[in-house]
Structures are given as structure tokens and as C-alpha cells.
Amino acid sequence: MFPYRRIGINRREALAGAGAGLALSSFGLPRAFAADNPGAEIETYGLSTFGDLAEKPDFKAFAYVDPAAPKGGMLSQEMLGTFDSLNAFILRGDAVFGTDFLFDTLLKNSLDEQDALYGLVASKVRVSADKLTYRFFLRKEAKFQDGTPLTAKDVAFSLNILKSQGHPSIRLNLRNMVSATAEADDELVVVFSPQRSRELPLLVASYPIFSAAYYGTHPFDQTTLEPPLGSGPYKIGRFEQGRFIIYERVADYWGKDLPVNVGQFNFDSIRYDYFSDRSVSFEAFKSGVYTVHEEFKASTWSTGYDFPAVRDGRVKRETIPDKNISGIQGWFFNTRRGALKDPRIREAIGCAFDFNWTNKNLMYGAYQRTTSYFENSEMAAKGPPDAEELTLLTPYRDKLPPAVFGPPYLPPVSDGSGEDRAMLRQANNLLLAAGCKRQDTNLLLPDGSPFQIEFLYDEPGLEPHTESFVKNLRQLGINANIRVVDPAQYKLRTDNFDFDIITERFVMSFFPGEELLGMFGSESANTHGSRNIVGVADPVVDALIAKALVANSKDELLHICRALDRVLRAGHYWVPHWYKPSHWIASWEIFGRPKKAPLYDPGISSTWWYDSESAKRIHFAGQ
């Protein structure tokens, strides 16, 4: 899967940036190679952030697949929202989901490892002694879906056009890629700046490869509904703008027998149906319109599955452990707005949210409160800063609030009444301390204007959770409202930072680097379409991110992230939501799957398969 997605962040969706004083270490290279060849050019079959590779050079398939999995049938799932473009690599348009099925990459990740890539289009990589030149050797059998060869010229073209015309997030990723050139049809040379981050070579290796010939006659930087020429395991079949899209398996896919692909891409077709409302999409699942559903509403998971297909065993429910770092989900403030610039005001707004009441009354007590930007991981700050964290933070003591040097900020714990008076008093005190004033029952901002804020959504799923929040804000004299707009308008407004408060969910990687720059770095704060939706522009945050980008060990990165967590939490940039370390999956009983699931992904589209005998047994007629 390539690293950039329009919504959310997967574990390599990150923005690369310059970090001062890069130490030329062996990160990214297998430990054995790095240890045995200090100061020498190194040739390797894979890359990872700190050199950890679980698979041997001669591995035959990943452990989480069934190499004998049958091919056939359809997998269908739902998507919320809409789409008006098949180009997912530019800022314009509302891109369709799933285009990563279309394009191969130089290397491919393992779903059993936190951050490891193995050979796909490239069979091996040779790295210079200074770790600034990466030479990728391509498989000569690689080809596009029209039968034309996939060469190093195509890879160089892809990286260069992504750097010059791609989505702003991708362009920022690639800013320290000096050049990408083809020295032969099967040999690509990528040169990096000395300021490159430790993750940039991995990002380059996992970006999609386009056909240079195809884009010689098709503009890259435009939205389009013309299916592009790909090289991956699927191509675009039938689709209807904004309603559904079907990806069809390429029967003669050139890479189907490679170790990184064996036992995968088993469905003849993969379909995504688009809905504007979760309740409507769930009714469609119940009637067999689509066949696999991930449930995100605790109330539905607890009470909504008493329908015939569940009772008679035709639909199966399961809880699949999620071993990834929990996502950063919450209400995010737009600090570019004058009313939300003061952290005391943002903290006060957070005091009006009663998580305990919401969890009990709306979510059946199924969730835990998120408190950290690195929730459910060792990177989450706890207790007072340790010696390493103090070393990082002390040089900036005069620029940081004193709270950073104590236990990290935790949202107040409510009494669960829905309108905890102590929390509302705390909020009121913070608002008055920030210069707000009262006029009858209304709250005025320090400049005398009425305090008004809007919660912006593109679908109504969180309206019940927000309504109780809004009620408490109104008790404080804040004129708070909820507005639901269509997905296209939502994207336009969020791309242009035209909002007060929105809800988003981002997924942090196990070894965060470039994504930190994209989400919290000053350089991305005013770049339209960036993931710095909050508008964080703090020199201390920038300094800590610069260190994270070039950390030479997991332990060093761990302490940097804990220090960063303290600073961000003290900034009150969001009102954190909730999390649970599992996936709720419901599926019609027409699928087979390997005995061992991947550690870091449910593996549905990549490792499951259609079981025609099971479909006959339950008389499934939905496909």
C-alpha cells in the first residue's frame, strides 16, 4: 500500500522535513548488514526504519497468508462520503478510495511488522556508505497492465512528478529528495540531501509507480474520471461517480507469484459502495448489498445485530485485536480563528465535554478516554519528565508553560452527570482569565464580540455525542452550533481551513517522523490541504520534530516523542475522543481466511478469499 491517503494517515503517511545535524547512521538497513559493513556500500533485500527485518532473504510468503488461497468472487464494503475523481495524488477533487490497488511500488510492507519493506518492483537496494544514494535494481519482468515494460524511467518520472505536481503533503515529503534518475532500464538511482529524514528512503520506496508514456498524453495535475494505466494487481472496472466503484483483478498480473504477493489479492473483484449516512449503509449491509462491515458505533454493535441473518448464522460478528497505536481522534480546533488562539479558551471548551456521560449513555461503556497523541504506546508521556526528556525540554523552558515540566495534561474526569458543575466552573474561570466577559447570559470574547463556534461535519454520525457537548457550551454563554455539509463542501472548507472545530482521526506510526512535520510543523500550518488542520506553529514543537526526524535509535525517538507529547498536550489543540484496541467486524459467511491473521491489519482485502461452497450453503444471493 502506498503511503499517501486523502483521509487519515496510515503508518507511513508522513511529511518529510529537514532536521538539523543529521547523523549518518545505519538506520533503514538490516542490522546484520549494517554491523558487518561499517562505512561500506551495502546491498540489501529490504528496508526498515531502524534496520529490523523479520523475513529472511529467501522467504517464500508472509506467514499471515494461505499460499493456496483460491481466487474468485467479490468482496464488497462501504465507504462514507462521495468521490468525483480517480486521481488520489493531487489536492483537487474528492478522490475515490482504493487506488492503491492499481499501482505497484518499489518495495512492499509486511502487515506483520511495524515498519519493514521487502522487494516488489525492485529486487534489491544498494546503499552508499554515506546513506545518501540509494540504487534500486528493478525486476525486468515488471510491466504495466497494457503489457508495456515498467522501467526505471517510469519510477524516476513518478517520483519527480509527485515532487513537482503532487498533493502538497507529498511534495513536502519529497523536498529532500535531490534527484531520481534512471541509469538503465532496470537501475534507478535516488540521491538525498544530507538533511533528509530517516524515513524518506522508505517513503520513496513505497510511492506508486506511474507510466511515463501514459502521462505524456494525460495531465497529471487534473481531476479525472478516466481510469489510469496501472501496474498493480487490480484495474478499475465499472463505477458510477459518487455511488460505487469496482476494482477487477488482473489475471495475468506480473507480480502475482512474488513472495510479497503470494496468497494475496484473491478476489476477482473488490467493490466499494458509497453512502452519506451510517444508518443507511448498515441497512444495506443487513440486506446483503455489501458483505463486510466494520462497525464504529458501540450502540449498533451492542443492540443492532438482532436481525435474521445474525440469528441463523449467515452473518458472523468478531472482534479482531488492533495492535496498532490508537488513532488520534477528537475535536480539533482551528487556531487560526481569533476566538481559538488562546490555549486557555481551548482548555475551557474541553472542560465542557463530559466523556463519562457520553461513554455510558451513547457508547455502552465500550471505550476508554484518549489522553495522548501517542495513545496506547510507550511514546505516551506519563508522570513527570525523566532525565532524557528534561534534557530535551530544558533549553526551551522560557518558551514553555510550566505545566510541561510536571505530569502531562489529562482531561478532567467528570461525575458522569452530563453537566458536571465543577468542570463548568473550571471552564468559566479559564474563560474569564483569558479576558472573556459576560453580558447577561452571553459570553463575549476579549475584543467584545459574541463568542460563536461551529462544529463542522460531513455526516451526522457524531451529532448525538456533540449535542451534549454543545449544551454545556451554551451554559457557559458560548453560542455553539453543529453544521453538517455534503462531503465535497466539507473537503473544500477543510482544505482551506474554513472551520472552527472539526472531527478527524489520524493514525500515528510506530516510529513517527515525517507525519509529525505534516501534522504539527510550522511549515505546513498555512499550506492548504495539509494535515496540520489545527495550525500548530510553535518553534519548540518544530525543534522536537527536527530531532525526531533524525533519531538514530528507538530509545532516542521514544524520549523525543514523550517530550513532544507533553508540549502538544499543554497546548490544548484538541478535545480528545476515545479509543478501543480492536476492530468490530461483521461479515456474511461467504469468506475463507488464513489461520493466522496479520498483526497490524485485519487483512480483509489482502488475505481473505471468497468461499463459493459457504455461499451456496447459506443461499447467499447478494453478489
Residue with cell 518520472: 157
Of the candidates 410, 454, 300, the one whose C-alpha atom is nearest the C-alpha of residue 366 is: 300
CA-to-CA distance for 247 and 249, rounded, in angstroms?
A: 7
The set of residues, in sequence order, having a beta carbon less than 8 Å from that of 537 and lying 6+ positions away, is 522, 525
- Helix pair 343-351, 421-433: axis angle to 10 deg: 170
Per-residue pLDDT tens over the stretch 98-149: 999 999 999 999 999 988 999 999 999 999 999 999 999 999 999 999 999 9
Long-range contacts of 363-369 (CB under 8 A, 24+ apart): 363/297, 363/298, 363/299, 363/578, 364/298, 364/299, 364/301, 364/302, 366/298, 366/301, 366/302, 366/580, 367/298, 367/578, 367/579, 367/580, 368/578, 368/579, 368/580, 369/411, 369/576, 369/578
pLDDT per position as a tens digit, 235-258: 999 999 999 999 999 999 999 999
* Rounded Cα gap, residues 435 and 437, in angstroms: 6
pLDDT of 30 strictly over 70: no
Contacts of 447 (CB under 8 A, 6+ apart): 338
Q: Residues 466-523: pLDDT tens digits?
A: 999 999 999 999 999 999 999 999 999 999 999 999 999 988 889 998 899 999 999 9
CA distance 208 to 101: 10
**Separation of alpha carbons 95 and 239, rounded Å:** 13
Question: What CA–CA distance (Å, rounded) separates 263 from 274?
Answer: 28
The answer to whether 11 and 115 are in contact (CB under 8 A) is yes
Query: Which residue blocks in 444-535 are alpha helix, DSSP H?
Result: 463-475, 487-495, 514-520
pLDDT of residue 13: 30
What phi and psi values does residue 143 have, to the nearest 5 degrees? -150, 160
- What Å distances lie between residue 504 and 17, 370, 462, 511, 591, CA to CA? 23, 14, 11, 21, 32
Please report, rounded to a whole number, the percentage of residues in the chain having pLDDT higher than 90: 86
Maximum separation of any 2 CA atoms in the chain, in Å = 76
- Highest average pLDDT, of 32-46, 164-178, 343-357, 514-528, comes from 343-357
Sorted by sequence, the CB contacts under 8 Å of residue 340 that are 6+ apart come out as: 333, 334, 346, 453, 500
Would you say 329 and 503 are in contact if contact means Cβ atoms under 8 Å apart? Answer: yes
Q: Are 560 and 547 in contact (CB under 8 A)?
A: yes
pLDDT at position 232: 98
pLDDT confidence of residue 327: 80
Residues 6+ apart with CB under 8 A from 398: none
Give the CATH superfamily of 328-579: Dipeptide-binding Protein; Domain 3 (3.10.105.10)
- Of all residues in the chain, the percent with pLDDT exceeding 70 is 93
Task: Say what the pTM is.
Answer: 0.86
Helix (H), strand (E) at residue 18: none
Residue 511 near residue 532 (C-beta atoms within 8 A): no
Instruction: Give phi and psi for 320, each to the nearest 5.
Output: -105, 120
What cell does 225 get? 474520471
Copy the grid coordinates of residue 226: 478516466
Distance, in Å, from the CA atom of 146 to the CA atom of 414, rounded to the nearest integer, reads 61
For the beta carbon of residue 555, count every other beta carbon within 10 angstroms: 11
